[in-house]
Chains A and B, each alone.
Chain A
Amino acid sequence: DGGITQSPKYLFRKEGQNVTLSCEQNLNHDAMYWYRQDPGQGLRLIYYSQIVNDFQKGDIAEGYSVSREKKESFPLTVTSAQKNPTAFYLCASTRFPAGGDTEAFFGQGTRLTVV
């Protein structure tokens, strides 16, 4: 079955550590996205990538980094520069350019907690 897989489901980070969240899709989608979800804030865009080897900052990119070396993969690194990283992180993908399928497909999320 096609879909998006995020791992791990739960992640604990010590202060000052970098951590990487994994996102893999087998939908053959070109565009991939990382969103952060906090209570009462909805989903806020961190980074997105429309094609391999290209990505753009979203609305809250500070303290995060990404790479897009393969079409299927879009890992997110939460660096020590991110002051408040505890949140729920969602990865999504869409077709590019959008044809009949315009909606985003989401992974099941990663809950990151700083300890």
Chain B
Amino acid sequence: AQTVTQSQPEMSVQEAETVTLSCTYDTSESDYYLFWYKQPPSRQMILVIRQEAYKQQNATENRFSVNFQKAAKSFSLKISDSQLGDAAMYFCAYRRFSRGGSNYKLTFGKGTLLTVNP
């Protein structure tokens, strides 16, 4: 079974600084997807960034980027120029690549609560 581990229950960062959230996962699959979701106080889950395992290039979305290390099964999220609105719970998630009849469920880590200090 796939597992996702987020080893940092809480992190804090100063506004405008950079922070990196860690995620490791365990899978025997070679094709899969990885995600970072953000859950602000409203509790609405918002997709931050997505990475396909077959792509060597790290995904980037504006101030958000990942460091995807497939061999190490590591998928960290870097937030640059942190803003007050980045304060939220961040979840790392894994999803197996779909082939006919495959299991498509998302497996989540336990989350990292990010605080942004003004």
A interface residues with partner B (beta carbon < 8 Å): 31, 33, 35, 40-45, 48, 50, 58, 88, 90, 92, 94, 96-98, 102-104, 106, 108-109
Contact = CB atoms under 8 A, between A and B. Distances in A.
Interface in B25-78: 33, 35, 42-45, 47, 50, 52
Query: Interface majority SS on A: helix, strand, loop or mixed?
Result: strand
**B-side binding surface: helix, strand, loop or mixed?**
loop
Query: Which range holds the interface residue count of chain B?
Result: 20 to 34
A102 to B, nearest CB: 5
Contacts of B50: 102-103
B106 A40 contact: no
Contacts of B91: 42-43
Contacts of B6: 42
A9 to B, nearest CB: 10
B110 A97 contact: no
